[in-house]
């Protein structure tokens, strides 16, 4: 009886829900809509940079770009949803590797950590070479920063590969805690390398300068990187896996450092000549403190759980 009433109430709620459906648009018209949206977006950017149109024309371009972007996003979401559901997902399900990547969060996290490790090693090597060639403390500090990140990611990957098929007993748990604690120690070392980089940025003007409008792409990627890092940080916080928390903490620290680099670069690109050293020092100091506290927390958490196991 109660189940029948729940089903009836669910049907009523479904009937009372307002559904908004987009009008059907054939593929040639959709392609035209996407093209016009990109065109109006380009004209909007040209308007902001060069102010080469009349005021009324500029307003019309901005309105067209806004409306086109909103409408294109709706249809693009519909197209992507159809493509994923009808085309991509069946292909993923038929392959054992892609099926595991999609369904196994732990496996996916460790897998993507390999690519991050390769990028960090490349940055560590290139900055190290520049530091030697140009006798630059700035490049040397960056090389040390990326080298520490590489070691931390290597610890996580090595642990997972070694204990992938091992039963999760007390011995394995203890080793995971040791790896977690060692990463916390490396976070403290990372803070030192980062602090040297911040000092070089603030007092010696050693900052990255992106040409032209590339700064906007870097800003968009940086905010995306931070958003993804925060999302995964909260997600693994609900999981009972120190390995995943370790990997996501590394990604979060990396995103914070990217934010410091972006801020200094934007001051260089859009600054009006005022002294920004105080702001850069404040942001860099806060990021250093957050990473330091993260390392201390990891050491204390691992130490506490190790003491409970004895």
Other C-beta atoms closer than 10 Å to the C-beta of 122 total 12
**Digits of tens for pLDDT over the chain (310 positions)?**
444 444 454 454 444 444 556 777 787 888 888 888 888 888 887 777 777 777 888 888 888 888 888 888 888 777 777 766 666 777 777 777 778 888 888 888 888 888 889 988 998 898 889 889 888 777 888 888 889 889 889 988 888 888 776 666 777 788 888 888 998 999 998 898 888 888 877 777 666 666 666 777 778 888 888 888 888 888 888 887 888 899 999 999 888 888 888 888 777 777 666 667 788 888 888 999 999 999 999 999 998 888 887 6
Statement to judge: residues 135 and 27 lie in one domain: no
Statement to judge: residues 223 and 268 lie in one domain: yes
Question: 234 in a domain, yes or no?
Answer: yes
Statement to judge: residues 110 and 70 lie in one domain: no
Could you say which of 45, 63, 97 is where a domain stops? 97
pLDDT score for 167: 66
Q: Domain span at residue 35? A: 17-97
Question: 201 in a domain, yes or no?
Answer: yes
Could you say which of 81, 97, 113 is where a domain stops? 97
Question: 241 in a domain, yes or no?
Answer: yes
Number of domain units in the chain: 2
Question: 254 in a domain, yes or no?
Answer: yes
Statement to judge: residues 68 and 108 lie in one domain: no
Question: 2 in a domain, yes or no?
Answer: no
Statement to judge: residues 161 and 133 lie in one domain: yes
Statement to judge: residues 141 and 260 lie in one domain: yes
């Amino acid at each position: 009886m109660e189940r029948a009433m729940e089903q009836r109430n669910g049907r009523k709620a479904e009937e009372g829900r307002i559904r908004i459906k987009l009008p059907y648009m054939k593929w040639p018209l959709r392609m035209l809509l996407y093209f016009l949206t990109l065109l109006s977006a380009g004209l909007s950017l040209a308007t902001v940079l060069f102010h080469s149109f009349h005021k009324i024309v500029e307003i019309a371009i901005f309105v067209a770009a806004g409306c086109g972007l909103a409408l294109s996003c709706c249809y693009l979401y519909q197209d992507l949803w159809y493509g994923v559901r009808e085309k991509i997902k069946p292909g993923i399900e038929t392959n054992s590797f892609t099926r595991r990547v999609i369904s196994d969060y732990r496996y996916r996290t460790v897998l993507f950590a390999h690519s991050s490790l390769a990028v960090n090693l490349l940055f560590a090597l290139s900055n190290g070479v520049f530091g030697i060639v140009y006798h630059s403390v700035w490049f040397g500090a960056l090389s040390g920063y990326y080298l520490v990140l590489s070691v931390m990611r290597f610890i996580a990957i090595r642990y997972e590969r070694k204990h992938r098929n091992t039963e999760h007993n007390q011995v394995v748990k203890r080793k995971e805690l040791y790896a977690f604690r060692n990463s916390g120690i490396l976070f403290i070392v990372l803070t030192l390398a980062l602090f040297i980089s911040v000092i070089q940025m603030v007092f010696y003007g050693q900052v990255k300068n992106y040409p032209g409008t590339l700064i906007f792409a870097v800003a968009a990627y940086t905010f995306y990187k931070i958003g993804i890092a925060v999302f995964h940080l909260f997600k693994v916080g609900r999981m009972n896996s120190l390995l995943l928390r370790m990997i996501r903490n590394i990604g979060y620290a990396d995103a914070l450092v990217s934010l410091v680099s972006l801020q200094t670069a934007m001051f260089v690109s859009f600054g009006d000549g005022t002294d920004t050293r105080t702001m850069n020092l404040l942001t860099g100091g806060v990021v250093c403190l957050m990473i330091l506290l993260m390392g201390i927390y990891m050491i204390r958490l691992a130490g506490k759980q190790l003491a409970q196991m004895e």
